[in-house]
Amino acid sequence: MRLSSKVGGIVPSATLAIAGRAKALQRAGVDVISLSVGEPDFDTPAHITEACIAALRQGETHYSPGAGLPALVEAIAAKSREQNGIPCDAGQVLVTAGAKDAIHQAMQAVLNPGDEVLILVPDWVSYEACVRLADGVPVFVPVDPETFQATDALLEAVTPRTRMIVVNSPSNPSGAVLDAHSLGLIADLCRDRDLVALSDEIYERLVYGVPHVSLASLPEMADRTVTVNGFSKAYAMTGWRLGWAVGPKPVVDYMGRVQSHTTSQAVTFVMHGGVEALTGDQSSVEAMRRAFDERRQFVLGRLAGMGYRTAPADGAFYAFVEVGGDDVAVAARWLDEARVAVTPGSAFHAPGWLRLSYAAALPRLAEAMDRVAALG
C-alpha cells in the first residue's frame, strides 16, 4: 500500500511517546513520576464545567455558526481588545477545536508550496509538522543560548521565500518570555519584509514577575499577526479541545474555509463552557498561577542545588534543564533508574537539554527531585 510521503515525514510527538512509556510502566505497577506532559494537574474549575452541563441539559448539541458561538466570539474579541491591546472585532475571530487546530489552519491559510517559515528554537514540535503539512519549509533559528531571546540571526535567516515567522511566548519548552527588544525585532522584520506572524500565546496567563505582551498589540502588527490562544492551560481544559485565533480578516476567513471542510466547528456545548471561562470568575486562574509559581521556585532551586543550569522559566510550567551530551540517553536513564519521566530536548530541536513539567503536586515534585539527585 502506498501512503502519503508528506505525512510519512512527520515525526510523532516525542512528548506523547515518553508519556505512553511512563503510563505502560505505571500500568505494570511501577511508581513512575511523570513530568513529561504539558498539562495542568488541576481539574477544570467547577463553574466552567457546570456551564457546559447546563448547555447539554438545554439541548445545545446542534450545529453552531462555523466561526463559533456568537457569545464566545464576542467574548474573545472583547478579551483581545481589553486585556491584550489587540484591535479587533468579532469578524476577526475564529473558534477552533483547540489551539493546535488554529495553528494548523493558519498555516494552511497563509502558506503556498515552498514558502519558508522561521521558527525560533527550541520550539514545540507541532509547528514544524503544521508547516510541512501545508507544504511549507521550516527554517529553524536559534535564540540566544543564555537569555533565550531573539537575536539578529532572524534577519540572517530571511530569504525571498520567507513568508511567516512563528512566535511562542511564554515558550514551550523553555518557559522564556520574549522581552520588548525581541518583540520589537520580530515586529520590525515582519513590517520590513511583509511577513505574517503567528503568535502562540497559550501560556499568557502563566507568567511570573514579567509582563506578557501580545505581538499584535505593537504598532502596525495587528494587520499581519495571527494570535492563537485557547483554554487548555489557563483554565485546565486540555481535554475540552477549545481554542481560537484572532487575526487579519482575510486570513481568518481563509482559516474558516479550511475549518468548514475539516472539523466544521468547535463542539457546541463546550463553547458554552468557554463563554463562562472568559466572562466568569477568574480567581481559579490566579490560584493555579500562584501554585505553579511555588512549584517553579522549588524545582529550579533543587535543580540548581544539583548543579544544573536552567532556562529563565519566566512563564508556562516547564523547567528546561541543560544536561549536555545525549539528552535522549539521559531521559531514558531518568526513567529507567529514577522512574522519573521527562522529555528529551532533541524533541524541541535542543539537544543536550531536558524539559521537565512542574505541573504536579509539590510532594511528587520533591520525590522526583530526590530520585534524580540520587542518580549522582
Place of cell 511577513: 195
What average pLDDT does range 56-66 have in this prediction?
97
pLDDT digits (tens, 9 = 90+) for 170-204: 999 999 999 999 999 999 999 999 999 999 999 99
Q: Based on the fold, state whether residues 132 and 9 are members of the same structural domain.
A: no
Q: Based on the fold, state whether residues 291 and 272 are members of the same structural domain.
A: no
**Number of compact structural domains in the chain:** 2
pLDDT of amino acid 14: 66
Helix, strand, or coil (residue 159): coil
| Rounded Cα gap, residues 52 and 146, in angstroms | 44
State the CATH number of the domain containing residue 319.
3.90.1150.10
Whether the model clears a pTM of 0.85, i.e. scores above it, the answer is yes
Give the DSSP letter string of 127-139: HHHHHHHTT-EEE
User: Among residues 257, 194, 230, which one has the least CA distance to residue 103?
Assistant: 230
- For the chain, what percent of residues have pLDDT higher than 70? 99
| Rounded Cα gap, residues 171 and 167, in angstroms | 9
Q: What is the mean pLDDT of the chain?
A: 96
pLDDT above 80 for 12: no
Contacts of 352 (CB under 8 A, 6+ apart): 322, 323, 324, 325, 327, 345
What average pLDDT does range 252-256 have in this prediction?
98
Q: Based on the fold, state whether residues 18 and 133 are members of the same structural domain.
A: no
- Going 317 to 346 to 100 to 38, the CA torsion angle's sign is negative
**Residue that finishes a domain, picked among 279, 302, 320:** 279
Contacts of 201 (CB under 8 A, 6+ apart): 84, 169, 212, 214, 227, 228, 229
**Distance of alpha carbon 126 from its chain centroid, rounded?**
9
Contacts of 370 (CB under 8 A, 6+ apart): none
pLDDT above 90 for 9: no
Q: Based on the fold, state whether residues 133 and 258 are members of the same structural domain.
A: yes
pLDDT digits (tens, 9 = 90+) for 79-117: 999 999 999 999 999 999 999 999 999 999 999 999 999
pLDDT above 70 for 319: yes
pLDDT above 90 for 37: no
pLDDT digits (tens, 9 = 90+) for 201-224: 999 999 999 999 999 999 999 999
The boundaries of the domain holding residue 349 are 5-44+283-375
* C-beta of residue 131 within 8 angstroms of C-beta of residue 107: yes
**Residue that finishes a domain, picked among 279, 308, 343:** 279
Confidence label for 131 from pLDDT (cuts 50, 70 and 90): very high
Confidence label for 15 from pLDDT (cuts 50, 70 and 90): low
| Rounded Cα gap, residues 120 and 292, in angstroms | 25
pLDDT of amino acid 213: 98
pLDDT above 90 for 120: yes
